Amino acid sequence: MPQPADFLLGEFPRSLDDRYRISLPSEMQDALPVGCECILAKERPGCLSLWLADAWQAKWDAGMDILRGKMRAGKLEGRWEEVQSLGRLLSTRNRSVTLAERGRLGIPEGFREFLGVEPGGDVMVVGAAVCIELWQPAAWHAFLGERMPEFRKLFDQLTS
């Protein structure tokens, strides 16, 4: 994945082939070399994110260490229903995948339904600065419609 100064940016229309594969844009293939281990994660209905496994693992381990520490310290007593709910989501949220030749990525079963795109359907490949996202086009346009008005405020907050 990119270094902090090298954001993954861009919006690229693609199609899902009949075997639920998508070819990543050449502009993004440098960040994810052929054969690299990646993590595909469910973000929101109609959106999956793709991370280099090392970057994902570091983020994942840090969060899990905090969670385990809170459990050992008894800070989650009485919140077992929330912990159980989190466990269910953790069980299905991500999966290891390998990028094939020509930047081709196969979308695993379970993730296909979450993305909501049938073979031959359109997918938007979006650079999300620190990862690549795959969007069902209607979900992408809805997200943009909701979030674009916040762009200037978010940019100003992160850059000041």
- The reported pLDDT for the residue numbered 49 is 97
Q: Which residues of the chain have a pLDDT value below 70?
A: 1-5
- The reported pLDDT for the residue numbered 4 is 45
- Which residues are registered as beta bridge partners of 108? none
- What global pTM score does this model have? 0.87
For the chain, domain boundaries: 11-159
- The reported pLDDT for the residue numbered 1 is 46
| CA 147/CA 151 separation, integer angstroms | 7
User: 17 vs 20, 59, 67, 120, CA distance in Å?
Assistant: 5, 31, 39, 5
- The reported pLDDT for the residue numbered 107 is 97
| CA 125/CA 117 separation, integer angstroms | 13
* Alpha helices in 2-52, H assignment, sequence order: 26-29
Q: Which fold has domain 11-159?
A: Chemotaxis protein chec (3.40.1550)
- The reported pLDDT for the residue numbered 125 is 97
